[in-house]
Chains A and B, each alone.
Chain A
Amino acid sequence: MKIKFNLNGKNVELEAPAEKKALDILKELHINSVRKGCDEEGKCGNCSILLDGKLVNSCLLIAPQINGKNITTVEALSKGGKLHKIQQAFIDAGIVQCGYCTPAQILAVKALLDEVKKPSRQQINDALSGVLCRCTGYKQIYNALDIITKGKKPKDFTREYKKDYRVVGKITEKIDALQMVKAENSYVEDYVAPDALHIYVLGSPYPHAEIISIDTSGAEKMEGVEYILTHKNSPKTWYTQAGQSYPEPSPYDQQVINAKMRFIGDRVAAVAATSLELAKKAALKIKVRYKVLKPVFSIEEASAPGAPVIHDRDAKKLDPLDVGAIPKKNIICRNSGGIGDMDKGFKKAAVIAEAACSTPPVQHTPMEPHTAYAYMKNGRLIIHTSVQTPFHVRRIVANILGLAENKVRVIKEKVGGGFGAKQDCGVEDLVGTIAYQSGRPVYYRISRKDEFTIRTRPAMFMTVKAGADKSGKLTALSIKTKIDSGGYGPHALTVPMNGCSKTLPLFTCENMSYEVAAYYTNNIVSGAYQGYGVPQTNFTVHIVLAQLAQKLGMKFEDFLSKNLVTKGYRIDILKQLGEGREGLAQKLSSCGLQECIKQGLKKYNTWTNKKSSLGDDIVQGKGMAVMMQGSGIPGLDAANAMVKMISDGTFMLYIGGADLGTGEDTVAAKIAAEELGVNQEQIAVTAADTDTTPFDKGSYASSGTFFTGNAAYVAARNMKKLIIQSAANILKLKPSQVKIMPVGKVGTKSKNMTFKELALATQAGDGAGQLISSGAFTTQKSPIPYAAHFCQVSVNKRTGMVKVDKYHALHDCGVPINPDLAKGQVYGGVLKTIGHTLYEGMEFDKGGKCLTDTFTDYPIQNINDMPEDFEVELIEVADSITPYVGKSIGELACDGASACISVAINNACGIWMKHWPFRPEKILKELDGNGARG
């Protein structure tokens, strides 16, 4: 049918089938801002448009419904070079993180402000209720509204740090925020050529099966079907998809397409065709005969004598590291160790507590699903992708295809949320293989349904036992963890190991032990997730410690404070807690934990548990938790950077680090600007392109700010030396006389030149050449970030519903380099983990099929889920490792919610919730068992 509509002020007339979605029509008209975050459920709202001024989901509209209408998208808001005030306020308030949902949020605010000049919090919540965001925690949206409607300034919400610095610690714009708020080409989907083939993957219907035969002839005959990959023509290289530094502590247990299926959805075949619909139709014509094998769905089944063997590879021959694998027993890895004497520790204890807790798989739900686009150019394989580890992906794909690494280029585009899900080479192995083998450009964007099962936090089972003497001093602490890794084993060791290495070192206890093991099952594959195994383990540790405090009649905060590490403490247990290697014992160069607790308690102690006006069923309780993370892995992680002075005296900074929305590029730019004596605007960043930027291990393990930031520091410091040397030569001064004078000058007070003059002089025909510096950052010391979280909850004893009323998070993040973005990450991490604690959890039927692979069955938080009183405070803590020690923040933010919520629930009604999520039925069961419902 012919339809006409007005799009951003211009009349459009086109032919479209009646059933065609408005989202698809707009995408074909190059409207980037309509982003597809759900499978057209109308749940994520990332595809929002204004239809005759009303905010609607374009995925829920078909062609005739936009006929004759006026459509406004974010693309129309900025006029010329000037941003709309809402776009500018989003940047100023530091809201923009990954940016995938940002255009929709901006439109939601526009629709609101078009109707109401000074909206209330309730009106703001309602206006934003249809746009899901997994990064920001929503809180700073209120700040943007206050900037627009009340004339407030960013400094009214976020304080600045480091008085003696000009750029670091100050509120500045995120360097890529402009392109996000304008919806310029940013993500992989924005760059795909029209002739690219689309991939559809036929997944295994069985959790455990062998392919006896596969017939693709029916599909191949279909016009438009260009290539089909099955186990027959798949490369035979064994590898791990885990995006970790080589040699990886993850097993080499996978091929691009295997002949054996190990979970429902495992790749059977991948069809590349001229459209996704065609690829899907063709895939359904593929005839497959399976030998169905007995599946195992739990660790108990997998470890039982005579259990079906899921992988029968020779681990010693294939795996790059010996992590204790026994594939024939479905054991992926094992590790154990400790310090002191556990028997002695428990004998010394006056009180002992023990808890066995479990957590189910939970999903990252980045708003942008896994996406990659690949093609061949001049004999080289080029991959544009949404990934956290472009250099690992280059190595993995080159290895799979038997290519030299310089024949593969990986370009990380903007990442619409990662949270660990995109740490792995999860789709690039397939896309790269098909592009290489077929010679055609190919595009693969997985559905939301498939995103739910591509990676999850693993199901994890923890038993923690601890003892304390009468004074409340811990005498022994042990952690035993098992994880169900599913059909393959990426991160199977590092997830449970992190659970131990980021909890045990919180305490000064002299006797500590750990034991971890990971198992294959025929469940979906788990992997890295923001926080690794720490949120789960810290939750279990807190239950046990709170029980000890209760037994001793001590306040929990007093008990914790008695046992926590402080600056200067030597953490010996870290030596044992490496990731498949020996770790590094560390003397604490800084620790702001006690200060976080002290500051937090000031408000926490004023919170009283009130009786609800809603009736006797509702009781309140409060709780607190402490936590730590790392800032990358000392002795293992590495980052590099390069700085070029260009001819007007500004700089190009090249970093390998992969900003996934968290502001890593901005961190690097700020540090370089600070060091070089220029403003942030004088540093432009090119990042995460394996051809043009230096190596960086990628963004994971909380390493971005510390490692990539300090690589930028070293490169800038080296550039500074070059500037001083060159200026001294030109100005005929001694280098020792010459100083950099912010902003953008070098020399002495009486004799100096601008950076532009220096650049022109060095780059001239008679100059010494362009100033180019590089910097590498590796370290044996990594600063440990700490935090204390406090919450108050309401529990409805009749229904089992739990609501978080108050949540305060105080973080020692070293020098807060990017204060508003740092706070935003904490808000986002906390809100996400409240969801994991209270209701998120993947469910499966008895046959291993996922029942929660939509946002309807697996709801995530919207703006209305925020606690009413939700605050984040950054505590500045100096550390001597480098001048710019920004400790990590994103992962740490996830480590406290379930711990302090479980303590608060116990405070409210006396029960201990030991199994995520704390859904109402579980609460009721505990209340029944406790006789506490009344």
Chain B
Amino acid sequence: MSARADKAPRLTVRVLHASAPFAAIAVLVIAWALIKIVFDLQDFVLPSPWRVLLAFLDAPGPFLVGSFETALSATFGFLIAVIVGVSLASALSLSRLVERSVYPLTLLFQMVPLIAIAPLLVLWFGYGRPTIVASAAIVSVFPIIANTLTGLRSRDERHLELFTILGAKHLTVWWKLSLPSAVPSIVTGLRIAAGLAVIGTIAGEFIAGVGGDRAPLGIMITTALRNFQTDRVFVSVLLSACVGFTVFGAVSLISRVVLARWMRV
């Protein structure tokens, strides 16, 4: 078979793969429009895709500012979760005794619903960004702790033996063997946490968000709901998903670039 004939199906497959997500979105939008028409639903129950698009195009400024504010809080919360999560898991991994005593506490902390501790966060940090960031950090920190700890425990015992014969000290083993071995697992935790950070941010905005010119998406959702502007709720929800996708994508991209040598492991 000629090289040209080989390339043609490969190109078709590539185009199919690239267009698959867009096709799925198109199917969803068509189904949405059909449901509205078939069940004759009113706009405040289910606006049409077209109306949602118009609601955004009518005044995109506040939505874009809101998205930026939400993304900023999510990023801050995520970064705090990364620092706290990796540090705490590292400290736990250095001593079995500390791990046994502190890890159940972190598990317990994870079990407490955010909504239950939200009033305390407002009490301690007040309304606005600090509580929102804290909320994002709390929701996203656990996967980082759990994955970092799993990764730190998963070092190859044969490599440990090599380090032992080379006379490496406890901390050196941790720094040069355990931590690098944990990187793929940490990256998985970061990816999960990136998505959760946006969820935590929106939840935090529901509880402690502040309205005004720079209202974040969470506040835009609650405000639009109160005014029965369901089209604006849809716009904000879709933008929240976009923010989540962007944060997740950025973390994945940075992981790929910075940790290239681990990605091949």
A and B bound?
Answer: no
Seen from chain A, the residues whose Cβ lies within 8 Å of a Cβ on chain B are none
Binding site for A on B (CB under 8 A): none
